[in-house]
Amino acid sequence: MDGFQAYGAGKSGGAFDPVTFVRQPQTVARILCWLFAIVVMGCVANEGYVNRPEEVEEFCIFNRNQGACSFAVTMATLAFLCSAALLALDVYFPQISGVKDRKKAVMVDIVVSAVWSLLWFVGFCFLANQWQASKAEDNPLNEGADAARAAIVFSFFSIFTWGALALLALERLKRVSFEEEYNKLFSPPLA
C-alpha cells in the first residue's frame, strides 16, 4: 500500500522540499519553541540583573535570587539547543530508511518534548513565584520589570508549544502503529 508513510515520513531517499517542511505543524511548533527560548534567555540575560549604587555586585531581579536567573538562562539555552537538534532531526528524518530507526526517533521526540514541557512548567512556576516575592524597595526604579514579565509569559507559552510537539509525535507514532498492523495482515508471505 503506497499511501502509508513510516512514522509520518515519505519514502526514504526523496528530495528535500523546504516549503513542505516549513508548513508541517511540528516544524512550526519547533521553531516557536526555539524562538521562545531565545526570548526567555535574552530577557533574563540582558535585563534580569540590576545593580544599585550602594552595592558592588548585580543582583537578580527575581527576588534577588541568583538561582532564579541562572536557572532561567540555563533552561532557555538548553531548550534552544534541544530545539535546534530536534529540528535537524526533522530535516534528516525522511532519509532514515529503517522503520525501527524511525520509531526510535519518534520515541525520542515524544520523551524529549514531554520532559521539556514539564521543565518549562517548573520554570514558569519558579519564575512567577520569585517575581511575586520580589520587593519594591529592591528595585525602586522598576528596572527590567518588563523583561521579567516577558520571561515569565514566554515560559508559560513554552509549556504549550513543547506539549503540542509531544502530542504531534504521539500522533505520528499512532499512525505508524496502524501501518505496521496493516502490513502484517495484508502483506504477502515471503517465499
Can you give the residue ranges of every domain in the chain? Answer: 18-180
- Report d(CA 76, CA 184) in Å as an integer: 44
Residue with grid cell 527560548, as numbered in its chain: 37
Taking only the tens place, the pLDDT of each residue in 18-64 is: 888 899 999 999 999 999 999 999 999 999 888 877 777 888 999 98
The pLDDT of residue 36 is: 98
For the question of whether the overall pTM of this predicted structure is more than 0.85, the answer is no
- Report d(CA 97, CA 114) in Å as an integer: 26
- Report d(CA 88, CA 45) in Å as an integer: 26
Query: Beta partners for 49?
Result: 60
Higher-confidence position of 183 and 122: 122
pLDDT > 70 in the chain, percent: 84
Taking only the tens place, the pLDDT of each residue in 75-118 is: 999 999 999 999 999 999 888 877 788 888 999 999 999 999 99
- Report d(CA 109, CA 117) in Å as an integer: 12
Residues contacting residue 154 through CB under 8 Å, at least 6 positions apart? 36, 39, 40, 43
Q: Which three cell numbers stand for residue 180?
A: 505496521
* Closest alpha carbon to 172 in 116, 110, 84: 110
Taking only the tens place, the pLDDT of each residue in 21-33 is: 899 999 999 999 9
